[in-house]
Amino acid sequence: MMHGYSGSNLRVRRLRRLARDRGERHERRSFVVEGPGLVAEVLDAGRDVNMVLVPESSLGDLDVGPRLEALLARAEATGADVGTVPDSVFDGLTSTTSPQPALAEVGFVDVDPDVLFAGVETGHPLLVLVGLADPGNVGTLLRSAEAFGAAGVLLVGGVDPYNPKVVRAAAGSAFRIPFAMVGEDEAVEVGGRLAEADIVAWATVPTGGAPMVDVAKAEGLLALVLGNEPHGLTDDVLTACAGSVTVETTGNVDSLNVAVAGSVALYEACRTRGASDA
């Protein structure tokens, strides 16, 4: 049943807070997905969609109205509440200056770290992100992890993976690639847990590490550890890893953006190990 909601409705007000407040998201274990495309993808992924809203005027739009009606029908069929809000209210719910005409409240999708460790296989490494602060970088790495066949992503502190900017940058991958979260104060402990699971952790560094192609050819289960954008990995974390690896470059480029370096390293690890197993 389609509902019409006002801006004073408690659920609508909660959506506004979920889009802006990390604490609210983690207290309620739900987050906001913005845009018809991503709402469709989270439904495709079978995630727990609690509510889908569209602006009132959009249903009368000949271009997008039929598509939004179909999207609302799909969501309602899963048990989600669906409805409209006044356009001015909808604009205040989203985190973008040019909002797309749909948003959803979705239950958290992260898994326990042990689930990630159990899924690591040869040719399917684990990506470990320590203290990454930029939402675009984290979203890009989630997308690359899915694209190149990683086992999953472990986020150690850093930006909230449920931040709307991360969700948009991941372009749907956050709904499909397994990921887990631990506190940044557990970064060194993670190294020990990986070793207990027979996963060899390699720290990515700008220079001086082993060539990525050599690490990719090594036997055993693999985790690639990436550090904070401006500072990299701390000495304690580097010590907790089995070794360091560098994505080699040419020319006058000193280092790569962490999302680029991580994506290249993942591609090399998955490609090389997949080929050796063929």
Same domain, 146 and 183: yes
pTM over 0.85: yes
Same domain, 103 and 207: no
CATH code (residue 30): 3.30.1330.30
Same domain, 143 and 220: yes
For 16, the domain range is 2-107
What local confidence, expressed as pLDDT, does residue 220 receive?
A: 87
Same domain, 152 and 78: no
CATH code (residue 146): 3.40.1280.10
Stretch (H or E) spanning 254: none
Out of 80, 107, 134, a domain closes at 107
Same domain, 10 and 138: no
CA pair distance 260, 193, nearest whole angstrom: 27
CA pair distance 36, 182, nearest whole angstrom: 31
Closest CA to 9 of 77, 85, 68: 85
Same domain, 147 and 254: yes
Same domain, 92 and 120: no
What local confidence, expressed as pLDDT, does residue 275 receive?
A: 44
CB neighbour list of residue 271: distance below 8 Å, 6 or more residues apart? 148, 216
Same domain, 125 and 251: yes
Same domain, 225 and 168: yes
Out of 70, 88, 107, a domain closes at 107
Grouped pLDDT means (10 residues each) for the chain, 278 residues:
88 94 97 97 98 93 89 97 95 88 97 94 93 97 96 97 97 98 94 93 92 85 92 93 89 82 90 55
As a whole number of Å, the CA-based R_g of the chain is 21
Domain count across the chain: 2
Same domain, 120 and 185: yes
Same domain, 180 and 270: yes
Out of 90, 107, 124, a domain closes at 107
* DSSP at 28: H
Give the count of alpha carbons within 13 A of 230, CB side only: 2
CB neighbour list of residue 174: distance below 8 Å, 6 or more residues apart? 109, 139, 142, 161, 166, 167
Same domain, 241 and 273: yes
